[in-house]
């Protein structure tokens, strides 16, 4: 006996050692086999991080695990990930390792995987990666078939995601957080498969979200006939959100089409079934909800599915005398009736109809009812709509627990019927749209955390007719802004049903309109020390001109507040279209004068831009400089002026998010006329410094009345057209430019009369020149650099001395020639006759005289500049 146990122990030990050693023996051959099969069958780049083979983990089965598996597409989806799995786990019998003809897999496990299916606009599918088989003449299909077989008995997909996208159909379907498992015997051609699925479903089509993270659970038993490719549903139960459905029938794949006959219904008629249809993201817990009445879902989907046909449909949703009441809320919804039918009797897509024959409900004494019929969905959709009743919007939060902070109040009254087709809307044949009725909204209050203020609409009334839709009345208040409007809408139905721009013309008026009341705050200003290095930003969402508007707005406002500017008696027109607001003939009183404006503002690009023609008439210089940054940037010198000015601007450039101009982007020009102005040199360093350096001129006495200046600007630079000003009888020619950063490069040319220097100095100059001092001028050029806050002056005294000296010498020479005319004539004759070069002699004399005169002029002018004014 002991010997027998000993032998048994040795055998067990050998088996354990074999189980430990075997993976190292077979791992290489299995990995080579997998690579061979992939290269033979797949046209894609398939990689994995490692292969793990174990004979112990699932003994008596072998376990093969591929970690970090990915399948990357080639052209035309090059670089796209078709498949990824953190782990792909295969189970097979140990005896499979010793076969030469291939492997048979019994179980497959897939964990944390992504299956990304895509069809592009050309109709190519990224999952079409199977290589065409190269059948050699004389070989059978069996000889060329893969030696890798999936004779499954169990499979699982855990915590995975499947996405299907069709670019041509503009459709996207996804299953997220997917857990799916199945048990059956795939070795047989006829077997039963038991499955369990739970996932979150999303579905978008042509920009419309039909399902979003809707929970789906399905327990299905299927009879599978692989010979006929027929799948019959036996005992099956599904749950969509919290709605339970039972279904049966079959789905069969034929050579040219698919055939099906599926029926489904709710196992109970409780009205909770309807509440359970609401997506989980918006639904509240149904525990404790009191309901009465019924809600039934019955449907059948049957027929063929091919390139031309879809299955026929007969789906009904019904409810009668139903009600519900959440235990935590004070009110309930009563007298609920629903009769909804989705049908298709031909199998053609265009013959699908959605009919809401009746929908009614009551909250307290408010009743609302409606009907809607949609037909010819895929061609020229026909719409027949009726809505009637009244509804207190403030009671919505009292009957259904809203998950948002939405605050609604007000009463809605509707009595509308409309009948039209989509062709009439898209072709703007509004005469073919039959509408009638009225829509009224009173005491409407809307508050949202992103809005700076609540919106209060005291009254809004819209009337419907075949010709147009009239906004009869609209009265709104938000913050300090009040607004009244009326007008005409041309295509409200096109806006509601076909994503067309809303067209119309309105007249609006306001006693006070504050632009800041419509700016949305999205982030709070950060004041923490951790963020001190980051630019502080109270982030205001960029003002965006809606792309769905195509309207003309004629407006008037007693007062308009924009930033720190106040406009009064504003009138004009605004055309809003294609994310552009065009202003026409806008006028207002501003800065003690008036303004006119024509131009446009656009938000089509990432950064808003504008092009404007502005006219200011007799505006107060001090006000415009104080309140308008653009004015300070264009004319910094204006900070020292008090008076009136008229100017015209032709501007274009970019705007900030709150519609302030980006100064360095501006281009255009300006023409300004100073009506009257006084100067205070102490208010600007430039004039103050000029006043200190030029002893003979008082810059507080500049004559600016009637002065006209012209400027052009581009790339952050303002170029002034040369102009001349007068300061106490001194003409000053101004020329140059400055930048929006206040740096400057100007030249001032002073023409100073000699009598400005006092009687003694002017007499000395007169003696030198031989002229009356009233006819004698000193031309002094001054170059100005630096900035308006820190100007740098350079007075060219040498140039002034040289010019004056040259003039005096020329005048002295002329006087000398007049006195000794004969002598000069003889000198000229001598020169022409080849005699002594008198000109050279005169030149030498003149040069000596010039130096002498320059010294005398310097002595005369030397004390003229640079001194402080005498008290």
Quickly list H helices, 112-205: 141-144
Confidence (pLDDT) at 198: 92
pLDDT at 185: 87
Q: Report pLDDT digits (tens) over 269-286.
A: 788 778 776 655 555 566
Mean per-residue pLDDT, 563-579:
85
- Residue 488: pLDDT band with limits 50, 70, 90: confident
Q: What pLDDT, on the 0 to 100 scale, is given for residue 17? A: 43
Instruction: Tell me the per-residue pLDDT of 112-164, one tens digit each, with 9 for 90 and over.
Output: 999 898 888 888 888 888 776 554 444 544 444 445 566 778 889 999 999 98
- What SS3 class is residue 462? strand
Q: Could you tell me which residues are beta bridge partners of residue 192?
A: 223
Return the beta strands (E) in 655-697 as ranges. 667-679
Which is more confidently placed, 119 or 432? 119
Q: Are the C-beta atoms of 181 and 155 separated by less than 8 Å?
A: yes
pLDDT tens readout for residues 390-423: 988 888 888 887 665 667 788 999 998 888 888 8
Reference 59, options 15, 104, 10, 109; nearest CA is: 15
Nearest Cα residue to 438 out of 406, 467, 471, 408: 471
For position 181, what pLDDT does the model report?
92
**Average pLDDT of the segment spanning 706-717:** 82
pLDDT above 80 (res 639)? no
> pLDDT over 70 for what percent of the chain?
73
Cα 227 from chain centroid (whole Å): 55
Q: Looking at 655-729, which runs of residues are DSSP E strands? A: 667-679, 702-703, 708-714, 717-727
The pLDDT score that the predictor gives to residue 871 is 34
| b/e burial code for range 103-135 (CB count within 10 A of at least 16 → b) | bbbbbbbbeebebbebbeeeeeebbebeeeeee
Q: Encoding tokens for residue 672?
A: 């300004």
Position 467 confidence tier, pLDDT thresholds 50, 70, 90? low
Average pLDDT over residues 10-27: 45
Average predicted confidence (pLDDT) for the chain: 76
pLDDT digits (tens, 9 = 90+) for 61-75: 677 788 888 888 888
Burial category of 412 from C-beta neighbours within 10 Å (exposed 0-12, middle 13-18, buried 19 and up)? middle
Cβ(597)–Cβ(614) under 8 Å? yes
Taking the domains of the chain in order of start, what are their residue ranges?
802-861
Query: Is the confidence at residue 677, as pLDDT, over 90?
Result: no
Spatial neighbors of 701 by CB under 8 A, at least 6 apart, are 679, 727, 728
Res 819: pLDDT: 57
């Amino acid at each position: 006996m002991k010997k027998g146990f000993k032998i048994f122990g040795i055998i067990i030990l050998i088996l354990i050692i074999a189980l430990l050693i075997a993976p190292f023996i077979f791992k290489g051959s299995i990995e080579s086999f997998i690579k061979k099969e992939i290269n033979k069958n797949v046209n894609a780049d398939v990689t994995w991080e490692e292969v793990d083979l174990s004979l112990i983990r699932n003994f008596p089965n072998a376990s093969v695990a591929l970690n970090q598996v990915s399948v990357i597409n080639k052209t035309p989806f090059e670089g796209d990930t078709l498949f990824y799995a953190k782990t792909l786990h295969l189970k097979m019998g140990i005896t499979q390792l010793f076969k030469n003809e291939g492997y048979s897999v019994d179980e497959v496990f897939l964990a944390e995987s992504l299956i990304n299916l895509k069809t592009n606009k050309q109709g190519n599918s990224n999952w079409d990666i199977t290589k065409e088989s190269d059948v050699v003449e004389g070989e059978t299909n069996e000889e060329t078939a893969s030696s890798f077989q999936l004779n499954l008995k169990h499979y699982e997909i855990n915590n995975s995601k499947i996405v299907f996208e069709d670019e041509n159909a503009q459709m996207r379907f996804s299953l997220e957080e997917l857990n799916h498992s199945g048990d059956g015997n795939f070795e047989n051609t006829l077997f039963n498969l038991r499955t369990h699925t739970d996932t979150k479903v999303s579905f978008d089509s042509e920009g419309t979200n039909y399902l979003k993270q809707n929970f789906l659970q399905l327990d299905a038993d299927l009879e599978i006939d692989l010979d006929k490719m027929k799948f019959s549903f036996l005992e099956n139960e599904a749950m969509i959100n919290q709605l339970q459905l039972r279904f049966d029938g079959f789905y069969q794949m034929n050579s040219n089409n698919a055939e099906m006959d599926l029926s489904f219904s709710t196992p109970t008629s409780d009205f909770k079934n309807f509440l359970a249809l609401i997506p989980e993201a918006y639904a509240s817990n149904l525990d404790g909800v009191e309901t009465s009445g019924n809600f039934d879902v019955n449907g059948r989907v049957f027929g063929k599915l091919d390139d031309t046909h879809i299955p026929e449909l007969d789906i009904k949703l019904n409810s009668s005398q139903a009600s519900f009441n959440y235990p935590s809320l004070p009110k309930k919804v009563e007298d609920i009736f629903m009769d909804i039918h989705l049908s298709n009797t031909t199998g053609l897509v265009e013959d699908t109809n959605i009919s809401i024959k009746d929908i009614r409900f009551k909250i307290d004494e408010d009743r609302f009812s409606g009907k809607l019929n949609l037909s010819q969905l895929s061609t020229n959709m026909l719409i027949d709509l009726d809505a009637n009743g009244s509804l207190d919007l403030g009671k919505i939060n009292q009957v259904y627990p809203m998950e948002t902070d939405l605050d609604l109040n007000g009463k809605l009254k509707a009595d509308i019927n409309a009948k039209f087709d989509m062709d009439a809307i898209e072709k703007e044949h509004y005469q073919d749209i039959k509408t009638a009725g009225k829509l009224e909204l009173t005491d409407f209050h809307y508050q949202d955390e992103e809005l700076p203020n609540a919106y209060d609409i005291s009254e809004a009334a819209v009337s419907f007719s075949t010709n147009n839709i009239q906004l009869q009345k609209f009265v709104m208040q938000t913050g300090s802004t009040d607004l009244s409007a009326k007008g005409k809408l041309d295509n409200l139905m096109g806006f509601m049903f076909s994503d067309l721009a809303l067209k119309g013309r309105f007249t609006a008026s306001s006693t006070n309109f504050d632009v800041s009341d419509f700016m949305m705050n999205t982030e709070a200003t950060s004041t923490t020390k951790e963020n001190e290095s980051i630019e502080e930003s109270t982030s205001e969402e960029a003002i965006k001109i809606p792309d769905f508007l195509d309207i003309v707005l004629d407006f008037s406002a007693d007062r308009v507040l924009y930033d720190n500017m106040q406009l009064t008696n504003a009138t004009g027109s605004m055309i809003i279209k294609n994310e552009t607001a065009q202003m026409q003939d806008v006028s207002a009183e501003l800065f003690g004068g008036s303004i006119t404006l024509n131009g446009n503002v656009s938000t089509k690009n990432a950064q808003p831009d504008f092009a404007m023609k502005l006219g200011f008439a007799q505006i107060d210089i001090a006000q415009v400089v104080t309140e308008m940054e653009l004015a300070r940037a264009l004319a910094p010198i204006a900070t020292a002026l008090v008076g009136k000015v008229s100017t015209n601007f032709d501007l274009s450039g970019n705007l900030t998010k709150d519609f302030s101009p980006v100064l360095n982007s501006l281009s255009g020009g300006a023409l300004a006329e100073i009506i009257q102005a006084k100067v205070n040199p102490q208010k600007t360093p430039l004039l103050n410094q000029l006043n200190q350096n030029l002893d003979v001129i008082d810059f507080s006495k500049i004559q600016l009345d009637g002065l006209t200046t012209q400027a052009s600007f581009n790339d952050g630079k303002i170029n002034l057209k040369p102009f001349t000003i007068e300061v106490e009888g001194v003409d000053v020619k101004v020329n140059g430019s400055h930048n929006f950063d206040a740096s400057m490069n100007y030249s001032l040319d002073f023409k100073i009369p000699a009598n400005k220097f006092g009687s003694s100095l002017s007499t000395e100059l007169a003696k030198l020149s031989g002229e009356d001092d009233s006819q004698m001028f000193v031309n002094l050029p001054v170059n100005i650099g630096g900035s308006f806050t820190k100007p740098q002056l350079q007075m060219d005294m040498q140039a002034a001395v040289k010019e004056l000296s040259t003039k005096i010498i020329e005048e002295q020479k002329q006087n000398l020639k007049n006195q000794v005319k004969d002598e000069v004539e003889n000198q000229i004759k001598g020169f022409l006759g080849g005699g002594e070069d008198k000109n050279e002699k005169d030149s030498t004399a003149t040069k000596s005289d010039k130096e002498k005169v320059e010294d005398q002029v310097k002595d005369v002018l030397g004390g003229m500049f640079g001194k402080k004014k005498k008290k």
